[in-house]
Amino acid sequence: MISPLPPLRDARDSDSEPLAALVAASFAEYPNCHFVWEEFPELRQPASHYAAKGGRLWIADAPDGSVAGSIAVAPVPEQNAVELTKVYVSPQWRGAGLAQVLFANVLGFAEAGGYGEMMLWSDTRFTRGHRFYEKLGFARWPGERYLADISFTWEYHFRKALAGQPA
């Protein structure tokens, strides 16, 4: 375990390349899961992308200048919910509590906005992430969606009601 945890900050558009490297490395851990830039246009200007949606993207900076972790959130007002995306933690930081700290930021965002629910979609191959989401109180909803991407991705849908808020 590495200590202390890397500092969190709001993303900048200049985080494009190191954030993409984290996503690509995470994908590479799974068979037939490929990263291609064309499928992730939001990573070209990540801070601007989430700000335009009324959301935020947080980055945890590793001491070597890479991105140790990331998490993004964007409102889905018609569902009184927020959607989590870009939930990634570098292998060397897993198990250190960084994912929980990242999640606390999106939880604070959702609670401050008065949202009743959090949701996310996750590649069916990302079983380690699914266990993490379930520990946080997310439940997998019925059904899957197909992305028709280079990796032939199928995703599961997860949702979590927020305490004291109408869903």
pLDDT digits (tens, 9 = 90+) for 143-166: 899 999 999 999 999 999 997 655
In 3-state terms the chain splits into helix, strand, coil percentages (rounded to 5) of 35, 30, 35
pLDDT digits (tens, 9 = 90+) for 67-113: 999 999 999 999 999 999 999 999 999 999 999 999 999 999 999 99
Dihedrals phi, psi of 34, to nearest 5 degrees: -120, 145
Asked if the structure places residue 45 within a domain, the reply is yes
- Joined tokens for residue 109: 């965002």
pLDDT of residue 122: 97
> Which letter does DSSP use for residue 102 in this model?
H
CATH number at residue 142: 3.40.630.30
Residue type, 96: A
Asked if the structure places residue 2 within a domain, the reply is no
Asked if the structure places residue 3 within a domain, the reply is no
Q: Nearest-CA neighbor of 62 among 100, 19, 28? A: 19
Asked if the structure places residue 42 within a domain, the reply is yes
pTM above 0.85, yes or no: yes
pLDDT of residue 167: 52
Asked if the structure places residue 167 within a domain, the reply is no
pLDDT digits (tens, 9 = 90+) for 34-55: 999 999 999 999 999 999 999 9
Asked if the structure places residue 166 within a domain, the reply is no
Asked if the structure places residue 103 within a domain, the reply is yes
Which domain range does residue 70 map to? 8-161
Q: Are 50 and 56 in contact (CB under 8 A)?
A: yes
CA dihedral 7, 164, 110, 137 (to 10 degrees): 70
User: Does 60 score more than 90 pLDDT?
Assistant: yes
Q: Which helix (DSSP H) or strand (DSSP E) does residue 11 occupy?
A: none
User: Does 114 score more than 60 pLDDT?
Assistant: yes
Confidence of residue 3 (pLDDT cuts 50, 70, 90): low
Please tell me the total count of domains within the chain: 1
Asked if the structure places residue 101 within a domain, the reply is yes
Q: Nearest-CA neighbor of 84 among 127, 122, 123? A: 122
- Cα separation, 30 vs 45, in Å, equals 26
